[in-house]
Structure 1
Amino acid sequence: MRYHFLTTLCLLAYTTNAIKILGVFPYDGKSHFIVIKVLLEELARRGHDVTVISHFPDDNPPKNYHDVSLFIPKKNNDSVEDAVKIERSYFGVFEVGVYLALSGKNDCEVMLANKDVQKLVNRKDKYDLVLTEQFNSDCSLGIAYKLGAPVVGITTHVLMPWHYKRLGIPNNPSYVSFHFLEGGTKPTLFQRVERVFFDAYFKTLYYLISQRSNQNELAKYYDDIPPLEDLAGQIKFLLLNHHYVLTGSTLYPANVVEIGGFHVGKPNPLSGELKNFVEQAEHGVIFLSFGTTVSLSLTSVEKIQAILDTIEELPQRFIWRWDKKTTLDKKPFNQLSQKHLDLLANKKKIYIGNWLPQVDILGHPKVLAFISHGGMGGTTEAIHFAVPIVAMPITGDQPANAAAIEESGFGVHQPINSLTKEDLVASLKKVLNPKFREQVKLRSKAWHDRPVSPMNSAVYWIEYAARNGNFTFRTPAATVPLYQYLYLDTMAVYAVFFTAVFLLFKSFCCASSRKETKKPMNNKKKKQN
């Protein structure tokens, strides 16, 4: 009886603390949402009522989890999945800027035109909090404003260029890693010049295309939405998918919380052919994946040959994630030699799949290294399981992540454009070295050594923001005018002061000089008299 009474009290307390959350995720990038979805489902499992606007409705949602689907078959089939070339170029960086701005515009239009979204907003249901991704659009902030709910932002990547000012975070190109470029925290002079230019480029496109069009699109439906940049500045917290063990110490204000690795759970045991392939690997396994956006069919045959020659030389087995568009009868694979084709057909050497349980693979003790494009999701998963990384960045935040991987000692950065068999073999031998792997294990231990797990931290701050929605936690650095932030007014005062002192001193010296010159002349006249 006593046990049941205590249980009832606990359940009542749990239910009392439950909050109503609206998740707004208009971006149709699957690699982003699969990370965030882990948090959304955990919130529902903890008793919170979670409604999610996204392109990815849950086929088997937990209790308290409700979908508002934005999925449009034709549009979602044309998304960025399996569409990026394996190469680095300035043209590609310019393309990313255009893509982000236009996708931010289109995502907002699709979401606001959705009848179910319109009904949700018009019902004016009471939500304790809106959780939304901070990426290529601020459109969701307009919905949060209409519902009168505090906002918590979340990222699956490093900060975008337009996030620094609104959050009051220093963005000095001499030591702050830049999202889309190499150099990390130790850039060369040329890389700093690059950063200043591309920072202006990305922010200009964002403000002129994405944010401006979002503001205009919201005005078609609602006539009272404040400037989106003002709403962005009122976000209660940003949950940032970073951790200083990887990305280094940075000056974040109190309302920016690092939750790097929050989505990584316990790995499930491998099964079937994959299980046999891994467990029968005498020398261990190397996992090779370029994520969900990169297509091997758009890769040069020389890069494929370099990878295959590396696989042939090393004793380890390889698991290789292929995209759905890639087949042996199409480029570049139909240009390979018979030797390379035979290697691909060797099921004791290479396991190929277009969908692979990445966390389960990386969590297996026989997996010794991870060849990756450097996406933040896979990077944090590899760090979680102490798997060294050979990072070959292609687009997005991958260059910044690759630099962080190398600087923090979790792996090496292998430039994709100069990829050769010799380079890749050397990189793999470096990370496979027992001493290197031991250092990665120590760093992974530091990654895990936190007072609160990243998932519990994320949940806590979401609940905290809901409980304290009337308060603001924004740093004054976010609102101080630029001329004050750069000391321009102070320097002007000092400049005027020292100029005035100099002029007064100069004037005094000139007056004294004239007086001294006059005295001898007067004395001479007296003598003549």
Structure 2
Amino acid sequence: MFFHVLLLLLWSVEGSQCLRILVYHPEPWRSHQLTFRGLTRGLGDKGHLVDFYTPYPMPDPPKTVNQVQLHDTLEELLDLADVHEFENCSPLRNMDMNYDLNAYVIQKTAITGKAFTELLSSNRTYDIVITEFTLWSEPLSYLAHRFDALNVVFTPVMDFPWTNELAGLPDNPSYMLSYQSRTNGRFIDFKERLKNTFRTFLQNFGGHRHLATRGQEIADAIMRYEGWENRPKLSEMARDAALILLNTHPSMSYPYPRAPHVKEVGGMHITEPKPLPKDLQEFMDNSPEGVIYFSLGTNVDAKAQTEQVFDVLVNVFKAINQKVLWKVGTGMPEVKENTKIKMQTWFPQQDILAHENLVLFITHGGLQSTVEAINYGVPILGMP
């Protein structure tokens, strides 16, 4: 009898640690979704009950993860975004463009379909609410207020001054570099420190301006629920994060000071390598000179690559001894009658990077790709 009672008590203690968690992530950037998938899957594997709102539900989720599909805004954003203006505009204009795009995402996913309105009007309870924490997603922090839950935020991109500003430990621009800096950070002369101070000021100024104006307006328009009129200002709510997760790692960055509730969790999305599909396995196994993997990420428009650039790349790949796996976008021409180059719109990237015959990764330098290449010890040739 005592043994059965002991088992019941142990089961009760274990069960009491199960939390109800809301993960709301409408952003359509697949690299961002990749990190949120890693976090959500990890929580589900630990037995927590998770409602995951996403435009891209993950295959084979843990049994305790309930996925709710949101409207996919990726194609709409690619049509709205002007890549050339992004590259050539001022830092303040760059931030405004990011605000515009992400305001579109938040508002469009709120008014398209019933998922968001049903969530706000539901009688569910959550212990923790997790949303993205970047320079433009702050209105979503009101979800924690709506459900009277702990506010946990995750930054799927690099660390930047605005994160530390809201965390209560602002950057010192004399040595803490803004993500817009073009120096490697090892030797910073006075001129670069002055530029960095200007960039840091602009980013924080733009962030505070956004919270007080556009961000507050968006939140008041779509985040309406019982008691919303008496909630704190967005500037207060955005600072009220119990935990801030950064998609960075000490091995890839400099030892900057962090507030106690800011934690680096870079590489969380990395999984154990899985067997490759048969055709890819044979392609890589039968490559004595090695294989080069070429991918410019998920958001590069194939139309942006001119025919001349395409021809140059093809001629180079044909001339070298290594075989090439080339991730292309839709609408790209094929390289016919060539067994050295294999082109597809998607590859299992982590499983390819883990293969012993991979000798080089040509990448646009995306954060997730860089983390994965470092994890598997693959040399990188960057094409930012």
Aligned match of 1:406: none
**Inter-partner Cα distance in structure 2 for 1:268 and 1:17:** 31
Q: Which runs of 5+ in 1 are unaligned?
A: 329-343, 394-529
Q: CA deviation at 1:254?
A: 1.6
**Between 31-40 and 187-196, the greater mean CA deviation after superposition:** 187-196
Instruction: Determine if contact 1:86/1:294 at 8 Å carries over to the other structure.
Output: no
Instruction: Determine if contact 1:296/1:323 at 8 Å carries over to the other structure.
Output: yes
Are the structure 2 counterparts of residues 242 and 58 from structure 1 closer, same or farther at C-alpha, using a change threshold of 3 Å? closer
Aligned match of 2:77: 79
**Which of the two has greater helix per residue?**
1
**Inter-partner Cα distance in structure 2 for 1:200 and 1:174:** 12
Are the structure 2 counterparts of residues 204 and 248 from structure 1 closer, same or farther at C-alpha, using a change threshold of 3 Å? closer
Aligned match of 2:365: 374
**Inter-partner Cα distance in structure 1 for 2:341 and 2:191:** 41
Q: CA deviation at 1:44?
A: 1.5
Aligned match of 2:120: 121
1:428-439 map, 5 Å: none
The one-character-per-residue Cα deviations of 1:122-181 (angstroms, maximum 9, x if unpaired) are 334221111111122111111211211111111222124421211134523343232234
Q: Secondary structure at the match of 1:368?
A: strand
**Inter-partner Cα distance in structure 2 for 1:214 and 1:25:** 17
Aligned match of 1:501: none
Are the structure 2 counterparts of residues 204 and 310 from structure 1 closer, same or farther at C-alpha, using a change threshold of 3 Å? farther
Q: Secondary structure at the match of 2:248?
A: coil
Instruction: Determine if contact 1:126/1:147 at 8 Å carries over to the other structure.
Output: yes
Alignment partner of 1:326 out of 323, 332, 356 = 332
**Inter-partner Cα distance in structure 1 for 2:245 and 2:56:** 21
- Does the alignment pair 1:57 with 2:57? yes
Aligned match of 2:48: 48
**Inter-partner Cα distance in structure 2 for 1:208 and 1:248:** 29
1:471-486 map, 5 Å: none
Aligned match of 1:262: 268
Aligned match of 2:350: 359
- Does the alignment pair 1:133 with 2:139? no
**Inter-partner Cα distance in structure 2 for 1:68 and 1:78:** 21
How does the TM-score come out when normalised to structure 1?
0.64
Instruction: Determine if contact 1:127/1:149 at 8 Å carries over to the other structure.
Output: yes
**Inter-partner Cα distance in structure 2 for 1:174 and 1:217:** 35
Are the structure 2 counterparts of residues 269 and 69 from structure 1 closer, same or farther at C-alpha, using a change threshold of 3 Å? closer
Aligned match of 1:243: 249
The one-character-per-residue Cα deviations of 1:91-134 (angstroms, maximum 9, x if unpaired) are 39676423311123223323444643233233342211111111
Residue identity in the other structure for 2:243: F
Are the structure 2 counterparts of residues 4 and 58 from structure 1 closer, same or farther at C-alpha, using a change threshold of 3 Å? farther
Residue identity in the other structure for 1:383: I
The one-character-per-residue Cα deviations of 1:403-440 (angstroms, maximum 9, x if unpaired) are xxxxxxxxxxxxxxxxxxxxxxxxxxxxxxxxxxxxxx
Are the structure 2 counterparts of residues 84 and 146 from structure 1 closer, same or farther at C-alpha, using a change threshold of 3 Å? same
Instruction: Determine if contact 1:152/1:236 at 8 Å carries over to the other structure.
Output: yes
**Inter-partner Cα distance in structure 1 for 2:158 and 2:150:** 23
Q: Secondary structure at the match of 1:27?
A: coil
- Does the alignment pair 1:283 with 2:289? yes
Q: CA deviation at 1:387?
A: 0.9
Q: Secondary structure at the match of 2:77?
A: coil
The one-character-per-residue Cα deviations of 1:65-115 (angstroms, maximum 9, x if unpaired) are 22333215xx4432349x886999433967642331112322332344464
Aligned match of 2:156: 156
**Inter-partner Cα distance in structure 1 for 2:8 and 2:281:** 44
How does the TM-score come out when normalised to structure 2?
0.86
Report % sequence identity. Answer: 25
Instruction: Determine if contact 1:320/1:351 at 8 Å carries over to the other structure.
Output: yes
1:435-514 map, 5 Å: none
- Does the alignment pair 1:383 with 2:374? yes
**Inter-partner Cα distance in structure 2 for 1:165 and 1:40:** 27
Aligned match of 2:98: 100
Residue identity in the other structure for 2:125: K
**Inter-partner Cα distance in structure 2 for 1:290 and 1:389:** 12
- Does the alignment pair 1:27 with 2:27? yes
Are the structure 2 counterparts of residues 57 and 312 from structure 1 closer, same or farther at C-alpha, using a change threshold of 3 Å? closer
**Inter-partner Cα distance in structure 2 for 1:22 and 1:356:** 30
**Inter-partner Cα distance in structure 1 for 2:312 and 2:190:** 32
- Does the alignment pair 1:109 with 2:101? no
Residue identity in the other structure for 1:363: A
Are the structure 2 counterparts of residues 374 and 8 from structure 1 closer, same or farther at C-alpha, using a change threshold of 3 Å? farther
1:276-425 map, 5 Å: 276-301=282-307, 303-327=309-333, 344-345=335-336, 347-393=338-384
**Inter-partner Cα distance in structure 1 for 2:251 and 2:61:** 34
Instruction: Determine if contact 1:85/1:299 at 8 Å carries over to the other structure.
Output: no
Are the structure 2 counterparts of residues 288 and 58 from structure 1 closer, same or farther at C-alpha, using a change threshold of 3 Å? closer
Are the structure 2 counterparts of residues 235 and 63 from structure 1 closer, same or farther at C-alpha, using a change threshold of 3 Å? same
